[in-house]
Structure 1
Amino acid sequence: MSGRTVSSAILILVLGSFFATLCDVFIKMAGVDVAIFQFTFFRAVFMCLILCPIAVAKYLSSPRSMATLGLKWHFIRGNIWVLAAVLLVISLAELPLATANAVFYTAPILIMLFGAFFYKERLTVDVVLAAVLGFIGTLVILRPTEVTFAMISAVLFAVVLAANSLLIKKLPQEQSMLYGLFVTQLFALPLAGGLAFWEGETFEIEILIYAAVSSICSILYSVSCLIGYRYVASSKVTSAEYSGLIFAFLLGWWVFGETPDLGVFIGSLFVITPLLYLSHRDIRRLKKEQLMSNTRSNLGAG
């Protein structure tokens, strides 16, 4: 699977979505009573340890000036990652896997809205409609007759994830994604470590295991995105990532015995359908632009 064709890129992204959901599964398996800050700290530690050989190789093969590029943004993203990781643990501890993931999938909609607000990107009627439907879908999924901390955490996680994703635009494009991820996690260690020390919970070997495997899954997801989006236009394959919601339904049922009700299915449709439409619209636009470009080239050659 090279990722050079649309079909192989889609397959890689589907696998990536599976690993992302598997990451959530291991976080959820850590349990309701897990020491949240300690768990978050060990996740950051394991991600640094896994990425360290790759980062060192990139450092040695690149100009030294490249290593210090974008440090301010890596620092900000690293500390935001700690907040996102904490919110993720809280929401997954109490909410069913499918319910939490359905709420998380509002992040792409929030990215578009934040992009319009902070980067002055064009906000179309379609995007606004997608945002409204996504909000309705979230209400249908959660049905907040009683607002819980887990519900709030799931929504806040989507917001923080969207904000952190937008900050990727600030990172130097010439820098390796995996090297950047290593530096980001390195900057996450002081805050995560400080919170873990303040928490003062006793160490448990289970936390170490779940932190390690969830970190591996998280990195595999990042690698799949790196390969899947590298050679193919993102609009052609991005809908493949929504397969993660299907994995959340299946793994939630298989691992935790959770059976999503009709509200979760309907709410998920409200969230996912507009995103699929926007993706399909972008594909049609690109095809139209390519056709016009080819026509002009042919006329020029004639």
Structure 2
Amino acid sequence: MSGRTVASAIFVLVLGSFFATLCDVFIKLAGPDVAVFQLTFLRAAFMFLILFPIVYIRHLYRPQSVVFVGLKLHFLRGNMWVLAGVLLTLSLSELSLATANSVFYTAPIFIMLFGAFFYKERLSFEVVVSAVLGFIGILVILRPTEISSGMISAVLFAIVLATNSLLIKKLPQNQGMLCGLCITQFFALPMAAGLAIWEGEAFQVDLLLYSALSSVCSILYAVSCLIGYRYIASSKVTSAEYSGLIFAFLIGWLIFGEVPDLGLFIGALFVILPLLYLGHQDVRRLRKEESLSNTRANLGAG
């Protein structure tokens, strides 16, 4: 699929959401007693080893300066990726797949709030209401009668994911997404390796398969985003990514025997529906701007 039409872009993003869910599945299959830092290091290593040959071939005849820009930012994002990877593994080892993913989908709310704080972006009434409803959704989903490490990890993962996503705005525009991802994973390796050594767990051979498969799925998700958002305005298609929650419900039930209760569905609706509404508002705004632009063009032509 080319991603040049809204329909094809939505299809690509839905497919990407499926791969993102599969990534979580392979991490969860590693088991509740997994060596967290070892798994995080292996995932970073596999992602770098897969991406490096692709990036090297693509940049073989391009200016080398493109590769070596924004290294400080990539270093920061690489180490934040390690933190996110650890939090992701901890949350999936304790929470059900659907519960964890429902909390993960609060990341866009944090992106909007952090964008207003750090980039002085306009914080509308609708955004504030969406944030409040999203946090109510978290409480309904988790029903924290007692705070667990899995709950804390899931919320912190959404926060770190949102922060890392905001840093994308500062990445060099002339540097491809796969190139940036490869450099980020390279900078993630030292910290991930150090944590794995400090963890002191015996090498777990079965983690090679889980980490390799989850890494492939992560890369496929990144590629789907690259294709899905390249030609079409993000506000028109971003809602397609919420299909990942459906995949989490279904796969969690089929593979792990997890049966979502009514509270989980209600909480997920509190999180997702306001975000879908905001996306719909953006689409309406874009259509009005396009209509106004066409009217002005027609008047100018007349």
TM > 0.5: yes
Q: Which amino acid aligns with 1:265?
A: F
Higher mean alpha-carbon deviation, 277-286 vs 49-58, is at: 49-58
Which secondary structure state, in structure 2, belongs to the residue aligned with residue 74 of structure 1? Answer: helix
CA displacement at 1:59 relative to structure 2? 2.7
The yes-or-no answer on 1:217 pairing with 2:217 is: yes
CA displacement at 1:25 relative to structure 2? 0.4
- Structure 2 unaligned residues grouped into runs of 5+: none
CA displacement at 1:249 relative to structure 2? 0.2
Q: Does structure 2 retain, via aligned residues, the 8 Å contact 1:58–1:176? A: no
Residue equivalent to 1:294: 294
What TM-score does the superposition give when structure 2 sets the normalisation length? 0.99
Residue equivalent to 1:247: 247
Alignment of 1:147-296 (within 5 A): 147-296=147-296
Q: What does the per-residue CA deviation read over 1:169-222, in whole Å, with 9 as the maximum and x for residues that have no partner?
A: 110011010000000000000000000011111111111110000000000000
Structure 1 segments (4+ residues) deviating >2 Å? none
| Alpha-carbon distance in 1 for matches of 2:107, 2:256 | 25
Q: Does structure 2 retain, via aligned residues, the 8 Å contact 1:15–1:224? A: yes
Q: Which amino acid aligns with 1:34?
A: V
The yes-or-no answer on 1:51 pairing with 2:66 is: no
CA displacement at 1:53 relative to structure 2? 1.0
Q: Which amino acid aligns with 2:235?
A: S
Residue equivalent to 2:146: 146
| Alpha-carbon distance in 1 for matches of 2:174, 2:260 | 43
Q: Which amino acid aligns with 1:9?
A: A
Count of aligned positions: 302
| Alpha-carbon distance in 2 for matches of 1:173, 1:270 | 35
Q: Which amino acid aligns with 2:191?
A: L
| Alpha-carbon distance in 1 for matches of 2:68, 2:204 | 36
The yes-or-no answer on 1:121 pairing with 2:121 is: yes
- Structure 1 unaligned residues grouped into runs of 5+: none
| Alpha-carbon distance in 1 for matches of 2:164, 2:40 | 17
CA displacement at 1:57 relative to structure 2? 1.7
CA displacement at 1:58 relative to structure 2? 3.0
Q: Which amino acid aligns with 1:145?
A: T
Alignment of 1:46-85 (within 5 A): 46-85=46-85
| Alpha-carbon distance in 1 for matches of 2:61, 2:29 | 39
| Alpha-carbon distance in 1 for matches of 2:249, 2:67 | 41
Q: How big is the alpha-carbon RMSD for the aligned residues of Structure 1 and Structure 2? A: 0.5
Tell me the percent identity: 74
Residue equivalent to 1:97: 97
CA displacement at 1:65 relative to structure 2? 1.1
